Structure 1
Amino acid sequence: MDALQRLHSAGYRLVMLTGDNPTTANAIAKEAGIDEVIAGVLPDGKADAIKKLQSQGRQVAMVGDRHQRCPGAGPGGRGDCHGRRERCPPSKPPPLR
């Protein structure tokens, strides 16, 4: 069982937040088993998109790649940038259910 399947089994909803165009993002999400796609978001807009998800009552954990500036997930969330952890602001991980 891969990591995304384990998250699904644990009851998590997976959202892809990406700068890619919607067609590409949806194709990748479908193959990977991701529940929701928010496409066309530039790096500077990702923190705002995360805040919007949080304002809907969602707890957010974010994983970014080493080429992107990691906005983290803000209060009550968690950020993790592969290869560039030093650029992620410290935050408290969300409580596990």
Structure 2
Amino acid sequence: MTSAKPFAAGLMLIAIAGCTSVAGPPPGTVEYAAATVSRAYDCGLKVDRGRIIARLDRQDRQRFIAANAGYAVKSYKAPHRCDAAERERVQGEIGALARR
């Protein structure tokens, strides 16, 4: 059951991040990319997750997959809507992640 603690901690961080717009993983990190992908799904955007993963360094891919799974669970249980401005911002970030 040792894997439950990091998972619970991750979910708690996600919940806290949802409370404010400034909380969350810092931009440029694998966790930020995972959170952005999750938010894109929340906003109903198409995401080429495989392309984003392929552009990550080999050692970062597993971290991305684990972080993205945590965000997906939270998103599935409590989906969020996004307004047009946020949708546009997230769409731009997803495009940048797919091109980097």
TM range (shorter): under 0.3
TM-score (norm 1): 0.26
- Structure with the largest fraction of strand: 1
TM-score (norm 2): 0.26
**Bigger relative contact order, structure 1 or 2, given CA contacts below 8 A and separation 6+?**
2
